[in-house]
Amino acid sequence: MTTRAHECLMRMYEEEHDLESYQGSIPRWCSGCGDNAVLAAVQRLCRDEKLRPEKTVFVSGIGCSSRLPHYMKTYGFHGIHGRALPIAEGIRLARPDLHVFVNTGDGDCCSIGAAHWIHAIRYNMDVTVMVHDNQIYGLTKMQASPTSPRGLRSKTTPRGACLEALNPLTVTLGIQNVSFVAQAVDWIPELIYDILSRAFHHKGCSFVRIVQRCPEFLPELLDPWLHDPNRILLLTHEKGLQVSAALGKVYKNQLEHDPTDLDRARAIASAGDPMPVGILYQNRAVPRYEEMRAITPLRTPELIQRGLETEFDKFTVWPREPAD
């Protein structure tokens, strides 16, 4: 009915931020890089949700994608290769009051970070994960990544990649405890924003794969999907995304898909072409690890001291009685 006094008081004084106040350094991505679209969408999200910069943190690994924390004027953690997710999980446990976002790439998440990826989905901690999937190792100047299509010629696959590309969507949907999987494409900024907004509001590990163009190394790879709207399959539903009229006029290939239907989500994810865009799966009932393992005794100095004393007492050496 009524709120506590301090909650009223906090609402009395709410700060408004505009997009610019979330801008850190000037982005150094190549012009035309899809990372710029993701950055703009994320800044819009922070502004619209009125996220306090000191309560927001962006965690990344290594790659072009992982430069994003530098360009946000919030807390950031540019970690080591493949370890963005475990660092984010640690932050979530230590600072449950922060909003945690993860920026990782197809190499950082699906290659070196594959082990952490599987378990991050299982733990289902409340983080928003953005996988900037440009299907190449960009920062290291063009090597094939797990999501590179078969036949791609790169510096490590001069005769063309011989393996079929990994599908991050089907892998994630196959992991126990998965609670939110969505796919966006960087040339439809309105949907990036909508999907990221839903991912942010979802309480759990929100996995968003953003299919992204690399204008430097793979300038034409995604042209067929870029130029032909019918090769994009928009997933709409009252529980999922609702598409605006203007967008619906351009992208007519739409499918009504209930995000709670896991089997159908897996089928859609496997199909590949047309490229599904929207929320594939959402399950609000999956518990979050940080809540299951919340530490209830408050860590007061007395508690810590008692714990230390108990441990030290195990090693106390008592003087031996002199033998007679």
Residues found near another protein in the complex (CB under 8 A)? 1-6, 9-10, 12-13, 18-19, 27, 31-34, 36-37, 39-40, 43-44, 54, 186-190, 213, 215, 226-227, 245-246, 298-301
| Nearest CA-CA partner of 130 in 148, 106, 147 | 106
Give how far Cα 262 sits from Cα of 12, 211, 276, Å. 43, 21, 15
CB of 38 to another protein, least distance (A): 9
Residue 2 or 310 having the CB closest to another protein:
2
User: Distances in Å between the alpha carbon of 81 and those of 25, 60, 211, 272?
Assistant: 22, 9, 20, 28
CB of 248 to another protein, least distance (A): 13
Dihedral-angle region of residue 271 (phi above 0 means left; psi in -120 to 50 means alpha; beta otherwise):
alpha
CA 186 → CA 87, 134, 150, 217, 312, distances in Å?
Answer: 26, 10, 22, 16, 57
Strand order in the sheet with 180-185: 75-78, 56-60, 99-105, 128-133, 206-211, 180-185, 275-282, 232-236, 254-256
| Nearest distance in Å: CB 267, another protein | 29
What minimum distance in Å lies between the beta carbon of 183 and another protein?
A: 16
Output the smallest distance, CB 155 to another protein, in A. 24
44 vs 119 by CB, closer to another protein: 44
Q: How many residues can be counted in the chain?
A: 324
* Cβ-based nearer residue to another protein, 15 or 164: 15
CB of 33 to another protein, least distance (A): 7
CA distances from 254 to 34, 181, 230, 236, 279 (A): 23, 18, 9, 7, 13
The owner of tokens 């082990």 is 115
